[in-house]
Structure 1
Amino acid sequence: MGTQALIRFEDVEKVFQVRRKAGRLRRERHEVRAVDGISFEVPRGEMVGYIGPNGAGKSTSVKMLTGILMPSAGRVTVAGIDPSRERLRLARRIGVVFGQRTTLWWDLPLRDSYELVRRMYRVPDARYRANLDRCVELLDLADLLDVPVRQLSLGQRMRGDIAAALLPDPEVLYLDEPTIGLDVISKAKVRDFLREVNAEHGTTVLLTTHDLTDIEQLCRRVMVIDHGRLVYDGGLAGLHAIGDSERVLVVDFDRELPPVEVDGVRSVRVEGPRQWLRFPASASAAPLVARLAARYPLVDLSVREPAIEDVIGRMCAGSQGL
Structure 2
Amino acid sequence: MSRSILSRLGAGLVATALVAGGSLLMAAPASAAGEPNTITVANTAFQSGAGWGEGIKVAGTDFPATTEITVAAGVGNGQSGDGWGSTTVTTDANGAFSTTLIPENGPTNVREGFTASVVASYPDPDPLAEEGARIFSNAVELQIADFVPAPFTTTIDPICISGVDAATTGVNVSATGFGQFEEGVVYTLTDAAGTQIGDAEPVNIDETGSVAGTLTLQTTLDGVPSGPIADGVYTITFTGSVTTAGLVTVGNCDAPVTPAEVVPAAPQLANTGSSDAGILVGGSALLLLVGAALMVARRRQNAAA
For the aligned pair, the TM-score class normalised by the smaller chain equals under 0.3
Task: Say which structure is richer in helix.
Answer: 1
TM-score, with structure 1 as normaliser: 0.23
TM-score under structure 2 length normalisation: 0.24
